[in-house]
A and B are shown apart, each in its own frame.
Chain A
């Protein structure tokens, strides 16, 4: 009886929602600090006791990061590398996922397990040899120095995801297209690929995010200032003794917001990718 008369705000006060509120605060508070500090003045960033709200709200940090410093260039570099790697991963990964999912290829199992092992391999294991190879090819400080390794490291996961989607679609349309005389590539392009587009989105968002956030290889291969990606630019900004946090956070906000929007727009794809292992297991 009592429950039924509870109205408005009172209905939401229970243990579950209190827990949810605490979880939300756990996530939001540090994020808020990043955003708030980006809008503080230099004095505001260094203030003690800290400014809980930027006062005055200032956009100087943004002007500095993209005017005085070259964070714009770093973002451009990240964009080129991530976009090219994603395009390569999706085109090569779709072909391979189709072959390993639908075609009677022998030795699928060892290939798929090897891919699984490669995708968990620590990157530090390939840094020394790749550095020496890139040096010999004259590729240090170039886009391809990152595009090829990024493609190689993201392909295994993309192939796994796409293969699972290829396994899930019906065989009959493919067969009737083949009977109608359509070539293999044409059948793949116009009949099969449209059916696995959720898988392509998932693989695409994952690859793009991974390339956007990658640090170790970018730090090792592209040390020259004009070839740095955004994580390297952020990590190497400032000196050992002073870190201009305001400028750094302004650049970070610009680097982080687009990817967060991408992930939120495609959040169904991201969650399905994150949980594909868990649900199948």
Chain B
């Protein structure tokens, strides 16, 4: 699930080898195919009912005048007003800017730091298993818990960092950095595990050959290790970008979007519009535009990814 921790967030498998469809389909094949759809349909129905249908419904709601009364909600007719209300507002521009900057900075830092961590772990001769176990703990931590923990650490009057940085959550810039640091702390271990898996797949001979050719460790890293790690790092970036763009839990608890609305992400803006202001139409418009941006990004990634492993995937 795309739970924003990590997500657990949770990561996604990527296409492996797909069995090519048989050319001729005899009766047995047809029966097996029918059985296959029978087996797959309960899962596909649940997924359709609780993800695809709501997404379509969300697009509908985003074009509706939604009227909220004590008795409930009613739809008052189609309008494009929700989008013009939302997209014209400074709040949306700021949330888009904040979410983009946050995503770019955290992903770059986490991937760079995660790669360094993975290089260290790969060279460990003893205790690597223990380190892996340790790295899984922040990954499994509830994001809300980590947000409360950092809010205690950053607390202006008795936080353990209050002696060094006074009221770190009190100003927009330092609050943003504080959020990013909490994210880096929780998510770098996840990136480390992924990069390490790619690292151990690199044939030792290639590294040795490079050293025989007279390259030093630094040169070998840039010329051999890093290019071979590119697909792995690509996957890590994909997971993280899509997850970070849906950012909600951490700022909702740690900064409540503040000070003011300076750390309000797109998902928070959508949520607050819907549940605090009870503006379901404009809220759905925010949510739909966020989803559209994520969809476009994942299509771009998918295309780039397909180009990389094109031979594995039939173009069907």
**In chain B between 246 and 261, which residues have their CB closer than 8 angstroms to a CB of chain A?**
246, 248-249, 252-253
- CB 8 Å contact bits of B300-316 with A (1 = contact, 0 = none): 00100100110001101
Known: A99-B39, A275-B193. A120 touches B12 (CB 8 A): yes
What distance in Å separates the Cβ of B126 from its nearest Cβ neighbour in chain A?
8
- In-complex Cβ contact of B36 among A23, A104, A116, A164 (8 A): A104
Q: Are B140 and A260 in contact (CB under 8 A)?
A: yes
Q: Using Cβ atoms and an 8 Å threshold, which residues of chain A touch B143?
A: 213, 215, 231
- CB 8 Å contact bits of B12-32 with A (1 = contact, 0 = none): 111111110110010001001
Q: Using Cβ atoms and an 8 Å threshold, which residues of chain B touch A48?
A: 157-158, 162
Q: Are A37 and B36 in contact (CB under 8 A)?
A: no
Known: A34-B145, A149-B50, A153-B51. A127 touches B8 (CB 8 A): no
A111 interface contact, C-beta 8 A: yes
Q: Using Cβ atoms and an 8 Å threshold, which residues of chain A touch B13?
A: 116, 157, 160-161, 164, 276-277, 280
11 A-B pairs (CB sep. < 8 Å): A19-B120, A99-B39, A109-B18, A112-B15, A120-B2, A128-B58, A148-B50, A210-B1, A214-B1, A215-B249, A249-B148
A231 CA to B252 CA, complexed, in Å = 12
What distance in Å separates the Cβ of A160 from its nearest Cβ neighbour in chain B?
4
Question: In the complex, what residue of chain B is closest to A275 when comparing beta carbons?
Answer: B197
**In chain B between 183 and 235, which residues have their CB closer than 8 angstroms to a CB of chain A?**
185, 189-190, 193-195, 197-198, 201, 231-232, 234-235
A80 interface contact, C-beta 8 A: no
Question: In the complex, what residue of chain B is closest to A148 when comparing beta carbons?
Answer: B50
Known: A117-B295, A120-B298, A127-B270. A99 touches B148 (CB 8 A): no
What distance in Å separates the Cβ of B74 from its nearest Cβ neighbour in chain A?
11
Q: Are B39 and A95 in contact (CB under 8 A)?
A: yes
What distance in Å separates the Cβ of A96 from its nearest Cβ neighbour in chain B?
4
10 extra A-B contacts, CB within 8 A, seeds A105-B40, A128-B274: A109-B316, A124-B286, A148-B50, A153-B51, A156-B47, A161-B13, A215-B4, A216-B249, A234-B145, A275-B193
A221 CA to B146 CA, complexed, in Å = 22
Q: Are A281 and B137 in contact (CB under 8 A)?
A: no
Known: A118-B51, A220-B275. A215 touches B305 (CB 8 A): no
A93 interface contact, C-beta 8 A: yes
Stretch of A2-10, A62-70, A131-139 at the chain-chain interface: A131-139
What distance in Å separates the Cβ of B181 from its nearest Cβ neighbour in chain A?
10
Q: Are B124 and A17 in contact (CB under 8 A)?
A: yes
B179 interface contact, C-beta 8 A: no
B102 interface contact, C-beta 8 A: no
Q: Are B287 and A125 in contact (CB under 8 A)?
A: yes
B170 interface contact, C-beta 8 A: no
Q: Using Cβ atoms and an 8 Å threshold, which residues of chain A touch B2?
A: 119-123, 153
Q: Using Cβ atoms and an 8 Å threshold, which residues of chain B touch A129?
A: 53-55, 57-58, 60-61, 284
A232 CA to B148 CA, complexed, in Å = 12
Q: Are B29 and A104 in contact (CB under 8 A)?
A: yes
Q: Using Cβ atoms and an 8 Å threshold, which residues of chain A touch B245?
A: 122
What distance in Å separates the Cβ of B155 from its nearest Cβ neighbour in chain A?
8
- CB 8 Å contact bits of A159-201 with B (1 = contact, 0 = none): 1110010010000000000000000100000000000000000
Question: In the complex, what residue of chain A is closest to B292 when comparing beta carbons?
Answer: A125
**In chain A between 242 and 269, which residues have their CB closer than 8 angstroms to a CB of chain B?**
243, 245, 248-249, 252, 255-256, 259-260, 262-264, 267
